[in-house]
Amino acid sequence: MGSRRLPICLLLLLPLFFLPGCWSQVEIDDLAIVRAIAIDYLPDRRAPFLVTMDVIRPGDIAGGGDAGGGGGGGGSPTRLFTGNGATIDLAIQQASFNISRRIFLSHNELVLVSEDMAKHGLHSVMDFIMRDNQMRLTNFVLVAPGMAHDILAAPERLETGIADEILGLLAQARTSSEADPQEAYRMQRQMSTPGQDTHAPVLRISPHLTEVIPEFREEMMEQGQDEGSQESQGQGAGGAEEQVVPQKELTLAGAAVFCGDVLRGFLDPIETRGFLLLKNGVKLAAIVVPDPLNPEKKVVLTVSRAQATITPVLSGGKVSFSIEVVAEGDLASQRSESDLSAPEMLKKLGSAKAAAIKIEIEKALQKLQELESDIVGFGAILNRSHPQVFREIGENWPQVFTQLEFDIHVTAHIRRTGQLSRPAPINR
Amino acid sequence: MLEKGKISPRQAGELMFITIMATVILFVPAITSELAGHDAWIASPAGSLFGLVTVLLVFILGIRYPGRTIFQYSEDILGRFLGKLVALSFVWFFLHLAATVVRQFGDFLTTSFLPETPLSVFNFTLIFLAAIAVLSGLEVIARMNEFIILLVVSSLLAIFSLSISIWEIENLFPVFASGIIPIARGAIVPAAWHGEIVALAVIMPFLTRPRGALVSGAAAVLGSTALLTTALIAVQSVFGPDFTASMHFPIHLFVRSINIGRILTRFEVVIMIIWVAGVFIKTSVFYYCAALGIAQVFGLSEYRPVVLSLGLIIAVFSITLYSDVAELAHFLRDAWPVYSISMYSLGLPLLLLSVSLVRGKLSGEAQGKDKQDG
């Protein structure tokens, strides 16, 4: 017994070398945690990929964001690092020369792709997302008109970092129904499926108020100078300029439409909503119709539930699609003082809403046919119900798609009228 | 008797279930999706049920030669020389299988989790662990498996139920769009995997009730079929068949895609648990079968002395048999199904059974003649 005890004790000591996790350990302090990646494509260069990474600043992981944010100057909790190379991997590798830590992509949640990159083809982006063992297929892919780098360089407004800001926008998009965030694996599936094209939400730097409303500009200049002079006393030089140069804001609305992996064009927010109505993706939307009693005034109706059923119709060797939409919602606001609460009025509003929805869908489909991009997946729907037919015409589905005819029927119901049954009377 | 332990039929069924399921769930979805496209989720149950044929063959043989393993009754049936040849080829089958499984284990871990660690670290650790299990005997492996099966099945069910919100069932259709041939081609891969249940022929004599082997073997095949089919439905409804076919380990990427409210996410640890625990049992079972086979063919009084040397052989094979992951995938897709079904899970058992039946009839007739004469 005594002779066996020593070897056993030594054997028990052996796990000490492996179990404490000291072997090739990686501490959090050694990692550059990337939250978002922007990929730009610069054509006609030997190293066309420009990759920008949004890396969390080490000090701000543990410390409260408030303390850093309030401190003025270096308030941003993240830093941008860029690199360029002949492929995305090489660009990241080049960026790593500037980073004092090891790049860690497992917590990356956003991939921003510039318009040029999307026009060149998403394949290299998707390949990077799927092949890299740190990247996740749940990364959201967004298209940025212009440079994707500029989006990450925009300052955050409410959240503690630009990545959180964009993620917040994505979460909100589900309620505005004017953009459709898609994870990478969904996009890849759509690209792989015959008779289906993919799309991605569009994230752009919004035009500042002064550009939209010219009157605003002069007002801002005056105010800016006033406030600037006050500020400069408190904060030091440079305050005036910062006030005049408007802070950038981000807008998530619309859809980038692909054919294969190549960007074909953009849907505007309303067209995107028309498309989402077909995909049952509308959770909340506001539709404007004329007041039945007072046609020059407007009534706003919400769509809180919409169900579309798409069925292929074959007649005489020709394929067309019948689209049935049932929408439900409330009366959200009205500009006239007329009483719209009577059941027949709500019926009228319902049919006006149905007509408006139908027009929205038609416009979206028309645009998609112009762009030759079947992002609704009519081909895939046809393939599911009539695989033989699809096998014959699926070879040149994009051409078939542009010639497709649609038969759209919309029924809409107004269920409630909000807190008011009729407008509160005003004595004149 | 080389093995003194006894296991219950239920334990045997659980052991066979984990043995099949451990690698089927990671490797087969991609291969079947590639071969059968949309119809993979139909091909998989169709192919898997082939395992029942093997169970039946093995069961009848086991009942005809009670208390004897396939290594022993192949000698009883085919005579000394041919019988030993068949028994040795089964030993080779189990060895080859163990080496392939170890290689799959290492390749998955290096691809998906620990890219900087050399393959041999995973392979050698696993074989070392399995060697300890084999030295401890069948009973120990079976009891350990009772714990592991809970871990594996409950985590798999948790994954499937958590992911239901991202399933898009319409991706499974159309069915039978391209006829029966792709289904048949896709079915042969799960069939090969479920044919691995031929290992029951080694374990059957050590059951407390050998007659329970039929039910427990069938249950193992059915259970594994159900899980594989669920996995295929889940993976295809999320990724679609065309995308699934281009992956190495669809179920792993599938689990990484589960994201419920950005809180319930990163479940790939669960896949790691399933994989490591399951493959450990699988390797142990085949390793054990090979060791016992060697001992019985050469008439040793103990199988334990050969365990460590067999481990070395498995370790070397696991590194040298395949030079890269493409070769492994190619072998598993194109060569393995035909080879293993035609030889081991159908061919040889069928040969043994028919020869045994013919000889039984002949000797029965001879006996009858003897009686008439007498």
Phi, psi of B261 (to 5 degrees): 60, 25
Alpha-carbon distance values, A301 to A121, A253, A419, B16, B64 (Å): 39, 20, 14, 61, 79
Nearest residue of chain B to residue A383 (CA atoms): B174
Q: Tell me the nearest-neighbour CA distance from A86 into chain B, angstroms.
A: 23
Q: What is the pTM of this model?
A: 0.86
Q: Tell me the nearest-neighbour CA distance from A185 into chain B, angstroms.
A: 7
A342-370 pLDDT, tens digit per residue, is 888 888 889 999 999 999 999 999 999 99
Residue whose structure tokens are 């190619």: B330
- Which chain B residues touch A if contact means CB-CB below 8 Å? 111-113, 115-117, 170-171, 173-174, 177-178, 238-240, 242-243, 246-247, 253, 256-257, 259, 265
Phi, psi of B40 (to 5 degrees): -60, -35
Which of A137, A192, A384 is the closest to B170 by Cβ? A384
Residue from A25, A133, A382 whose CB has the most chain B CBs within 10 Å, to mutate: A133
- For chains A and B, CB pairs below 8 A equal 51
Segments of chain B with pLDDT less than 70 = 1, 366-374
Taking the C-alpha atoms of residue A106 and residue A101, their distance in angstroms, rounded to an integer, is 15
Confidence (pLDDT) at A83? 93
What residues pair up with A301 in beta bridges, in sequence order? A287, A331
Residue from B38, B239, B252, B263 whose CB has the most chain A CBs within 10 Å, to mutate: B239
Question: DSSP assignment, residue A87?
Answer: S
Taking the C-alpha atoms of residue B36 and residue B183, their distance in angstroms, rounded to an integer, is 5
CATH of domain B9-321: 1.20.1740.10
Alpha-carbon distance values, B344 to B90, B91, B132, B336 (Å): 7, 11, 27, 11
Residues of B in contact with A137 (CB under 8 A): 253, 256-257
Confidence (pLDDT) at B369? 59
Cβ-based burial of A109 (10 A; exposed 0-12, middle 13-18, buried ≥19): buried
Confidence (pLDDT) at A237? 42
Q: CB distance B242–A193 less than 8 Å?
A: yes
Which of A138, A385, A387 is the closest to B257 by Cβ? A138
Q: CB distance B256–A137 less than 8 Å?
A: yes
B216-267 pLDDT, tens digit per residue, is 999 999 999 999 999 999 999 999 998 999 988 899 999 988 888 778 888 8
| The two three-digit tokens of residue A23, written as one number | 């072997």
Please tell me whether residue B264 adopts helix, strand or coil conformation.
Answer: strand
Phi, psi of A73 (to 5 degrees): -10, -95
Q: Tell me the nearest-neighbour CA distance from B185 into chain A, angstroms.
A: 20
B108-121 pLDDT, tens digit per residue, is 998 888 888 889 98
Nearest residue of chain B to residue A385 (CA atoms): B174
Q: Tell me the nearest-neighbour CA distance from B301 into chain A, angstroms.
A: 26
Taking the C-alpha atoms of residue A354 and residue B308, their distance in angstroms, rounded to an integer, is 77
Contact A355, A325 (CB under 8 A): no
Confidence (pLDDT) at A336? 85
Confidence (pLDDT) at A64? 45
Inform me whether the C-beta atom of residue A384 falls under 8 Å from chain B C-beta atoms: yes
**Is the link from the previous residue into A201 a cis peptide, with omega within 30 of 0?**
no
Mean pLDDT per 10-residue segment, chain A (428 residues) = 80 80 77 93 91 83 43 63 93 92 91 95 93 90 92 84 90 85 93 92 85 72 55 43 62 92 93 92 87 87 91 88 93 86 87 93 94 92 89 87 92 88 85
Which of B115, B178, B243 is the closest to A192 by Cβ? B243
The torsion of the CA quartet A37, A43, A48, A51, rounded to 10 degrees, works out to -10
Phi, psi of B359 (to 5 degrees): -65, -40
Q: How many degrees, rounded to 5, is the angle at CA B282 between CA B293 and CA A17?
A: 110
Contact A340, A417 (CB under 8 A): yes
